[in-house]
Amino acid sequence: MKQPIIDTLLAGKLLPLFYEDSAETSIDILRTLYRAGIRIVEYTNRGQHALHNFKQLKALQVTEMPGLYLGTGTIKSAKEAADFITVGADFIVSPIVNPAVAGLCDQHNILWIPGCMTPTEIYTAQQFNAPVIKLFPANILGPGFISSIRELFKDQLFIPTGGVEIAEENLEEWFQAGVCAVGIGSKLITKEIVLNRNYHELHLQAKKALQMIEKIYLQPLKI
């Protein structure tokens, strides 16, 4: 199951991520993202209802959303990973490098995307066969970090998360630096959108982000 998920990530180059206490709101957001053309989503484990909501999102995925991969993020322990793997998580995203989580995902043949901030952490993640590494927090590291380390980790796939903007200049800087995709949370699924249940705006913003990325890739990358 790993390679089809990686292929989907590389095709769209955008990984939306979110959590909401309300299962109804979570369902509405997922439906909106899917209608906008998103085919891979991370539901973060950031609240007491995360596992319960995730089960409902998985049921929706099966009945309404062919071709969608739904994973879970903010997984720090093997226990958390096991809970979400049991209910059908397609992939696991972590903010840290935990060998126990890596081993569990490998045991179940599930894609594991660990979070790294230093070359040492990146190297450690590679020892546990992480095909994709999350750069976190992206707003602290910046595109210059990728440009500086790219030669050290030539074949590694990176996805920055945390502070990536839905702005052509910012997106272009990241892709020019060499990332394979970007993770976007609150810059896409804003507090205002959720508060006002303005899913039309979310649909527009998701399509806008996809179109910006497509435009960037229609131009020669200055790598």
Q: Where are the domains of the chain?
A: 2-215
CATH of 2-215, one of 2.40.30.10, 1.20.1250.20, 3.20.20.70, 3.90.1150.10: 3.20.20.70
Give the model's pLDDT for residue 223: 40
Q: How large is the C-alpha radius of gyration of the chain?
A: 16
Give the model's pLDDT for residue 219: 61
Q: 72-78 long-range CB contacts below 8 Å, 24 or more apart? A: 72/42, 72/43, 72/44, 72/45, 73/17, 73/42, 73/43, 73/44, 73/45, 74/19, 74/44, 74/45, 74/46, 75/45, 75/101, 76/101, 77/101, 78/103, 78/104
- Global pTM reads 0.95
Report the DSSP pairing between strands 132-135 and 115-116.
Answer: parallel
Give the model's pLDDT for residue 68: 98
Residues of the chain with pLDDT under 70: 219-223
